[in-house]
Structure formats: C-alpha cells, structure tokens
C-alpha cells in the first residue's frame, strides 16, 4: 500500500472530514447549582452556545471517576463515568428523588452520593418487582416507602437490565471493586485482605453475594451516567456538535482495571510496580513528570489480539465522536522509571507494539477517529507511526515563539493534518501567559505578527483559527479573555487543579458574536 493509499484509509470520517473549530471545556467547568458542572441543563445550554458561535466540536477531559485529587487522568476505571457528573434533576424528573432531597443531601459531606442512594432506593423497588428482571429479590432489603413512580417502570427496568448485560465485560468487576473499596474505607486494593487482593475465586463469590445490593447500586450509578451522557451526545450531534474525548494512555494503579487484570501490567507477585510511567525533563518540568502509573505487559496484551485495548476503545467509541490519545508517543515507546526514584530524571525508553495495536484497532473499528497528543520528546519513529495511520498531531501556539523560524508550532510551519490550540488544559491561559513574558519575548511575538493593533491574546486566537490545520480548538478561558487565576492544571503539582468554572454572567454576547465572526472569517463553520 502506498503512502497516499494509507492516508486515504484512516481518520477520514467526521469530525475530521472537513475544516472545523471547537472549544476545550471540561464538564466540571460548566456553571450550575452544585460544586461542579454536571450533565444537565447547563451542558445542553453550552451545546446551544457552541452552535450559535459557529463551533462544531466540544472537547472535554477524561470523564472517568477520579481519586481524591480530582485528576481526570488518574481514574478508577477506563470505562466508567464519574458519578460526580450525574445531574440530580434528572432523578427528580423520574420521580426517584424529591426537590427537597437535593437541598437536604448537600448539607451532608457525602451529598451527591446520598442523593443517588435515595434515588436508588426508589428505583430498586420497581426494578426488583419488575416481571422481566433476572435477579432474585434479596431477603435483606428493607421495605422503603417511595412516592408514586410516574414513568413507564417496565421500560426503565428493562433498559437497566440491558445496560448491565451490554456493559458486563467491565461493569461487573468495576461494581465489585467499588463495593469492596467502600467496605475497606476507600483503601487501595493493595491493602485489602490477601484473598480479595489476589482475586481468589471463593473470596470473590462470597463478596458478590455479601455486597450484592452495593454492587447493584454502583451499576445503577453507571446506568445514570451513560443514560445522561448519551442523551447529551444525541442532542449535540443533532445540533451539529461532535464530542471530542480524551483517553489517557496509562491507567491508575488503584483502579478496577489493574485489580481485575493484573496480568496485563508490570507488577510483581505482590501487585507492586517495579517501574512506573512518566516523561523525562521537558518544557513543563526540569525534573520530568513521574506519573506513577504501572506499565503495560505488552507481550501479554498482544497475545490476546489486544482485547483489553479493543474493549477500552469500544466504550470510548460509544461516548465520543473523536478521541485524543494522551501521550501518543507511548504507543511507540514509554519512559520507564524505577519505582524507587522520586523524580522522572532517571529512566529508559522501552518499545511498545504501537503499529500492531493501531492496525488491530482500525480493523475492528474502521471509522475510528483519533488525534495524537504528540507534545514533548518526539522522535522520527513516533512521527512515522502517527503518519502511517494519518493521525492529526497537535500544534500549541504558546510553544511557538522560541525565537527560531523552524519551530514547528509557528503558524507558517503548521500542517493540514493537525489540531491547533492556543493552549491546552496544561497551559496557563493565553492572556496570563502573555503577561508573564519579558519585553524581548513580547517584542518577538509582535514582530512576527507585524506589530498588530489588536491585543496579542486576540491575535493569537485569530492566528489559531486562521491556521491551515484542519481543526482549531480554543480553551474556554481564552475565548472569554480570562487571565491570571483561571488556569485548569499545572503539571507536576497536586493541589489547586481541576477546579476552574465559569458562570453564564461572565459569558458576554460579544464573545459569542466574536467567535462566530472568527469561524466565518476563517472558513470553519460547517
């Protein structure tokens, strides 16, 4: 197959089929009445804003359930959705939760979980009394009073059963993992009793029986998340908006995935990692980034025809129209750091079977649409792998102005098969970044753009939208001209991240009109 024929095979379907633009905004950053954004009214309103402003892509960060630090890149599961994103009003509309319950729940430290528990109690009765359900009614269930259920109970119960069956390939282990994690005060699976930690058959059978109601609850949580998200996706797609997801290449050690399938990870007989993932020193950090994730046992994964990855992509394909592979270079080789090292300075690159993996994924999902996060230390081998499968790479305007005309992020070096950003979730806002530069650096940027009359942050947005790159993405903070104090994440730090939110009062009509003007001017309206 020639190079031209190869490029015609992959990544040709929407939303990579024509010139477009989108906005980067994680769901938690949406406005709303609670502590973070949810899959509710504000999410639908944001879709309307995107359409009116001429955008056709909404990019989010990973949507999985997080650990205590809130990082979406260290999830409890590569399949599950974050229960913190569930819209409680959706439960009220179905008669499982009363309006007054919401206010009562949020006086409790376990507010959202408590609300969902109340809803589950109402739903559980109708589910277990449904003629179609295949689960035996538990003798230990309390008789719980609930208001009259107004919806078609048979349909909802049938949908729940179908969801459990359809997602069983990951949901069974995930729900059991969550039930056991709750039973053991949220401790890592590494600290559970040996029989459960090592998944001894009898211990798992006893746990499934003992915690059957808790397991059902966690399955119910995921049913809520998927139902709400897929409804939002349908609404977005019907309004011309494609959802752009983010897939971290590595998995958290304390996750249902590692606990359930230890054979696919580089762990010793006790489940500990000898080597952990990260990246060597780069633009973001002089000591590199020590992420701490376990590395893959690629030989064992490959021996199963990459079934673990095929299943992972299956879920992401259901949730998103386009998927960014975070740390794509890990498909070619990964930085392995000895587990006893405190930084990522000392390590080595170890090869990965990326070509065979991508070939398998595209054979399984011919219309798969992927973007490669190719920032950091990128070799010719990584570029060749990306180009072989026609994956767009990323161009970041904040990285462009090093003073060298050959800098690949400068606009005159951009490529059609790219996604261009002013900055990502790991960058400061463009306005704040500009304010941090010294006078010589600012002068270089002004000189590059022939001393523009407009403020430089607006110029960088214009040039991002004008780029030859097929897809242009603006972080919401940049679109709203926010400066210091509106950053989403600072790599290498563990506190103060992932908390940024905007309010509708801050989003002016002029912002929408300016965005539509840019989309029109630079040919990005579909």
Q: What is the DSSP string of 495-523?
A: SS-S-----GGGS-HHHHHHHHHHHHHTT
CA geometry: angle 96, 94, 238, nearest 5 deg? 140
Pair 481, 22: CB distance under 8 Å: no
Q: Is 275 helix (H, G, I), strand (E, B) or coil?
A: strand
Pair 519, 525: CB distance under 8 Å: yes
* Catalytic residue selected from 183, 282, 426, 441: 426
Cα 126 from chain centre: 33
* Catalytic residue selected from 173, 221, 336, 373: 373
In the sheet with 471-475, reading across from the earlier edge strand, the strands are 370-372, 322-326, 242-248, 57-59, 20-24, 471-475, 418-421, 393-396
Nearest to 408 by CA among 140, 418, 427: 418
Q: Calculate the alpha carbon distances from 112 to 39, 74, 109, 120, 371 in Å.
A: 14, 21, 9, 12, 34
Query: Would residue 318 show up in a list of annotated catalytic residues for this protein?
Result: no
Pair 177, 197: CB distance under 8 Å: no
The helix (H) or strand (E) run that includes residue 265 is none
Q: What is the DSSP string of 419-451?
A: EEES--TTSPPHHHHHHHS-HHHHHHHHHHTTS
Query: Would residue 373 show up in a list of annotated catalytic residues for this protein?
Result: yes
Nearest to 403 by CA among 430, 452, 443: 443
Determine whether 98 is exposed, middle or buried from the number of CB atoms within 10 Å of its CB (0-12, 13-18, 19+).
Answer: middle
The helix (H) or strand (E) run that includes residue 325 is strand 322-326
* Catalytic residue selected from 87, 321, 326, 478: 326
Query: Would residue 509 show up in a list of annotated catalytic residues for this protein?
Result: no
**Catalytic residue numbers, as ranges:** 326, 373, 426
């Amino acid at each position: 197959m020639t190079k031209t024929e190869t490029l015609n095979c992959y990544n040709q379907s929407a939303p990579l089929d024509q010139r477009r633009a989108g906005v980067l905004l994680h769901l938690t950053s949406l406005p709303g009445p609670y502590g973070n954004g949810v899959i509710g009214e504000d999410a639908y309103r944001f879709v309307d804003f995107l359409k009116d402003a001429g955008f056709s892509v909404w990019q989010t960060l990973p949507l999985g359930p997080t650990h205590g630090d809130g990082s979406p890149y260290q999830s409890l599961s590569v399949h599950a959705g974050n229960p913190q994103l569930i819209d409680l009003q959706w439960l009220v509309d179905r008669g499982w939760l009363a309006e007054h319950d919401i206010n009562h729940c949020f006086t409790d430290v376990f507010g959202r979980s408590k609300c969902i528990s109340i809803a589950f109690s109402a739903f559980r009765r109708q589910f277990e009394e449904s003629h179609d359900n295949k689960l035996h009614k538990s003798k230990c269930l309390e008789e719980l009073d609930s208001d009259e259920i107004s919806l078609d109970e048979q349909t909802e119960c049938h949908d729940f059963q179908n969801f459990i069956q359809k997602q069983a390939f990951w949901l069974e282990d995930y729900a059991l993992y969550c039930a056991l994690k709750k039973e053991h005060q949220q401790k890592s699976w590494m600290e559970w009793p040996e029989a459960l930690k090592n998944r001894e058959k009898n211990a798992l059978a006893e746990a499934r029986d003992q915690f059957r109601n808790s397991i059902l609850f966690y399955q119910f949580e995921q049913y809520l998340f998927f139902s709400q998200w897929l409804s939002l996706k349908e609404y977005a797609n019907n309004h011309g908006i494609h959802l752009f997801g983010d897939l971290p290449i590595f998995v958290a050690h304390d996750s249902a995935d590692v606990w359930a399938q230890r054979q696919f990870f580089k762990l010793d007989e006790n489940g500990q990692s000898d080597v952990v993932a990260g990246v060597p020193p780069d633009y973001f950090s002089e000591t590199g980034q020590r992420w701490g994730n376990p590395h893959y046992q690629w030989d064992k994964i490959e021996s199963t025809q990459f079934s673990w990855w095929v299943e992972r992509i299956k879920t992401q394909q259901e949730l998103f129209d386009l998927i960014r592979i975070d740390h794509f270079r890990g498909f070619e080789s990964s930085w392995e750091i000895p587990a006893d090292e405190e930084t990522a300075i000392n390590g080595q690159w170890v090869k990965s079977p990326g070509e065979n993996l991508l070939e398998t994924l595209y054979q399984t999902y011919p219309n798969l649409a992927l973007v490669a996060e190719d920032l950091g230390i990128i070799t010719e081998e990584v570029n060749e792998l990306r180009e072989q499968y026609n994956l767009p790479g990323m161009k970041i305007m904040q990285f462009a102005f090093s003073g060298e005309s050959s800098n690949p992020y400068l606009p005159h070096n951009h490529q059609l098969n790219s996604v261009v950003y002013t900055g990502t979730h790991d960058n400061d806002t463009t306005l704040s970044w500009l304010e941090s530069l010294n006078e010589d650096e600012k002068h270089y940027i002004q000189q590059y753009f022939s001393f523009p009359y407009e403020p430089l942050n607006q110029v960088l947005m214009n040039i991002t939208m004008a780029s030859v790159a097929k897809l242009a993405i603006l972080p919401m903070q940049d679109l709203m001209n926010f400066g210091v104090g509106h950053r989403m994440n600072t790599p290498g730090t563990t506190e103060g991240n992932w908390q940024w939110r905007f309010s509708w009062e801050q989003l002016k009509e002029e912002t929408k009109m300016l965005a539509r003007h840019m989309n029109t001017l630079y040919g990005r309206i579909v």
